[in-house]
């Protein structure tokens, strides 16, 4: 019996050592995330490639963490199904309006208050507020887009215009003065364009609504459209959108890119068009962005994406640690998310990021949009109401103004009701 003691001891030591090694391996954390952007096929650095670069750096700094970037998934139904079946990744990137719904459905964990405090201190207030629901941040701000009034210095100089419009009356007056009409009233070259899509018209309509002191929902989420304000906004917008108005409901984007059209209501990503088509040496010398006199005040409309965290994640602490690093860590003067946004043509969320090299080209333009952030008073839910569609129906002659007001309100009620029903149905699925 005594002869067996040593072999048994050796066996015990081996087993204990093996168990320790197995345990160490089990402590490696794997975080799965929808990074929000597809990988490019042309070898260039897009936001997905930038994100991947930082994730690898994070893994280097945190050897026990492995992050799988699953690309993009914007399919709301699929994401809900993944959650129900327990397969939703730890992090999802999507439009904040959907994050808000996911949060209402109980799918997301709120940002820990300690991290939220840091974000409130470091990021633009609009970036934080936009992703805050009932006082809690529901995710980390990502893509940050806001409307602004683009202008072309060449077009304004050619018309002898020195001052940018500060009131909506001045904008309308300049618009008429700078539009080129044929004698029969057909527009040859308008004074202002937009992004060419009903959604873009809607963003503009909602910006005009807020400029007139209106809103879509109150603090409790109840529909709060005021008819007199709605009337003012729809009438003004329709009169602008009518055929042969100074504001082109369709087309002329290429002329804008060429510097020929004085004004445009658009987004930071229009820069991509200038890169392609502007004939001058440096588009940043010609194009600028200022505030949009949209009514009684300036107006802007914001939409944003964010990173939400699956509340069933097994590594919540590690997930928030990663997101904090992506949102706030400064590497060569910019945060990882800020670098992604610069590549995407989006505004940063951390003000200092604008000073870093990735934002060097077109920085003044981005600063113009940042000013507009001050006038973006909407919440993500506003987009549920399609005022732009109502305006377009009237402008295109499909509906008379007399019907439009009533229909816009009824449609808003219906959209709100349908959304509530959808939320309830999703709740039931879970």
Partner 1 sequence: MARRSIVLCAVLLGLLLAAQAASAQNYFSVVVLPDTQVYSKSYPQIFKIQTDWIVRNAAYHNIKFVLHAGDVVDSGATNPAEWENAKAALDLIDQAGIPLLIAMGNHDYDDLAQTRSSETFNRYFGIERYQGKPWFGGAFEPDRAENVYALFDVNGRKYLVLVLEFGPRDAVIEWADGVLAAHPDATAIILTHSYLHDDGMRTHEASEWNPKRYGLGGDANDGEDLWHKLIKKHPNVRLVLSGHTLGTGVARRVDVGEHGNLVFQVLANYQMQANGGDGYLRLLKFYENGNIDVLTYSPYTWAYKTDAENQFVIGDAGLAVVSGRVMNTVSQQGVPGARVTLEDVQGNVKAAVFSDEAGRYDLVAPEGCYILRTELSGYEGSAALVATPNAVCRPETLALRPIGVWAGTGRTLTGDLAEGTAADIVLMNERLAMAIAVTFDDPQLTGVTKGKPVDLAVTGQADAFDWILMPYLSLTQPTDWAVRTVRNTDVAVVEVTGEQAVVEASGVFTELDTVTVRTTYTLAKDRPWVHVRSVITNTGPEDVTLWVGDVMDNDDGTQVAIIPGYGTVTSGAAQVWTPEQTWIGQYGTSAQAFALVYPDRPEGFDAFGGALWIMSRIPVTIPAGGQYELNRYIVAVPTEGYAAKADALKEVVAHLITPYIWAFEEQAEVDVIGNDNTGATFALSQAVAGEGTYVLQVTPSGQAAETKIAAPLSGLAISKWTSGETLVIRAYLPPENEMNPARFFLGMADLTTGWEWVDGVFSTTEAQPGWNEIRFALTPKMRALNPDGKYMVYMAFIEAARTPLVQPFYIDHIWVE
Applying CB under 8 A, the residues found at the interface with partner 1 are 37-38, 41-42, 72, 166-167, 169, 173, 176, 181, 183-188, 196-198, 232, 234-235, 238-239, 242-245, 248, 250-255, 258, 290-291, 293, 296-298, 333, 351-352, 354-355, 367, 370-372, 374-375, 394, 400-402
Least gap, CB of 232 to partner 1 (angstroms): 8
Cα separation, 31 vs 181, whole angstroms = 59
* CA 419 to the chain's CA centroid: 21
Nearer to partner 1, 65 or 238 (CB): 238
Least gap, CB of 10 to partner 1 (angstroms): 57
Rg (CA), the chain: 26
Least gap, CB of 32 to partner 1 (angstroms): 20
DSSP letters for 124-179: -HHHHHHTEETTEE-SEEEEEEE-EEEEEHHHHHHTT--S---SHHHHHHHHHHH-
* CA 178 to the chain's CA centroid: 32
Closest CA to 238 of 407, 387, 411, 410: 387
Q: Which helix (H) or strand (E) holds 30?
A: strand 29-33
For 269, 335, 337, 341, 372, the CA distances from 353, given in Å and listed in that order, are: 17, 7, 9, 10, 17
Q: Are strands 140-146 and 263-266 parallel, antiparallel or unpaired?
A: unpaired
Nearer to partner 1, 169 or 430 (CB): 169
In contact, 325 and 140? CB cutoff 8 Å? no
Least gap, CB of 334 to partner 1 (angstroms): 11
Nearer to partner 1, 59 or 371 (CB): 371
Nearer to partner 1, 58 or 375 (CB): 375
Tracing tokens 């936001």 back to the chain, one arrives at 47
Least gap, CB of 410 to partner 1 (angstroms): 19
CB atoms within 10 A of CB 85: 8
DSSP letters for 370-393: HHHHTTB---GGGGGS-HHHHHHH
Nearer to partner 1, 113 or 173 (CB): 173
Closest CA to 195 of 185, 187, 186, 204: 204
DSSP letters for 79-103: HHHHHHTT---SEEEEEHHHHHHHH
**Which of the 8 DSSP states describes residue 213?**
T
Cα separation, 349 vs 82, whole angstroms = 29
Nearer to partner 1, 120 or 181 (CB): 181
Nearer to partner 1, 100 or 168 (CB): 168
Least gap, CB of 231 to partner 1 (angstroms): 8
Least gap, CB of 26 to partner 1 (angstroms): 36
Nearer to partner 1, 110 or 362 (CB): 362
Least gap, CB of 374 to partner 1 (angstroms): 5
Least gap, CB of 258 to partner 1 (angstroms): 8
């Amino acid at each position: 019996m005594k002869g067996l003691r040593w072999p048994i001891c050796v066996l015990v030591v081996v087993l204990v050592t093996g168990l320790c090694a197995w345990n160490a391996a089990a402590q490696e954390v794997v975080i799965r995330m929808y990074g929000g952007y597809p990988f490019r096929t042309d070898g260039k650095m897009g936001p997905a490639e930038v994100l991947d670069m930082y994730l690898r750096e994070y893994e280097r700094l945190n050897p026990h963490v492995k992050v799988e970037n699953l690309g993009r998934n914007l399919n709301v139904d699929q994401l809900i199904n993944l959650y129900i079946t327990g397969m939703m990744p730890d992090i999802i990137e999507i439009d904040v309006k959907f994050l808000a719904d996911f949060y209402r459905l109980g799918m997301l964990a709120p940002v820990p208050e300690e991290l939220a405090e840091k974000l409130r201190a470091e990021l633009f207030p609009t970036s934080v507020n936009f992703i805050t629901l009932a006082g809690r941040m529901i995710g980390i701000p990502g893509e940050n887009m806001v409307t602004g009034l683009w202008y072309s210095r060449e077009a304004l100089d050619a018309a002898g215009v020195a001052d940018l419009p500060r009131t909506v009356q001045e904008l309308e007056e300049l618009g008429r003065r700078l539009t080129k009409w044929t004698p029969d009233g057909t527009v040859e070259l308008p004074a202002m364009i937009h992004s060419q899509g009903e959604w873009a018209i809607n963003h503009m309509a909602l910006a005009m609504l807020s400029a007139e002191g209106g809103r879509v929902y109150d603090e409790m989420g109840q529909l709060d459209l005021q008819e007199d304000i709605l009337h003012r906004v729809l009438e003004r917008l329709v009169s602008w959108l009518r055929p042969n108005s100074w504001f082109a409901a369709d087309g002329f984007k290429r002329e804008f890119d060429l510097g020929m059209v004085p004004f445009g209501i658009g987004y930071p990503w229009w820069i991509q068009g200038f890169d392609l088509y502007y004939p001058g040496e440096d588009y940043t010398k010609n194009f600028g962005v200022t505030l949009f006199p949209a009514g009684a005040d300036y107006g802007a409309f914001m939409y944003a994406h964010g990173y939400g965290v699956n509340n069933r994640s097994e590594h919540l602490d590690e997930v928030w640690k990663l997101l904090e690093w992506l949102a706030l860590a400064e590497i060569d003067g910019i945060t990882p998310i800020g670098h992604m946004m610069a590549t995407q043509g989006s505004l940063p969320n951390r003000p200092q990021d604008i000073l870093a090299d990735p934002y060097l080209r077109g920085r003044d333009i981005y600063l113009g949009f940042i000013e507009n952030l001050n006038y973006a008073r909407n919440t993500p839910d506003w987009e549920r109401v399609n005022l732009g569609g109502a305006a377009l129906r009237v402008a295109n002659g499909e509906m008379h103004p007399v019907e439009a007001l009533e229909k816009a309100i009824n449609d808003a009620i219906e959209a709100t009701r349908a959304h509530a029903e959808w939320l309830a149905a999703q709740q039931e699925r879970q």
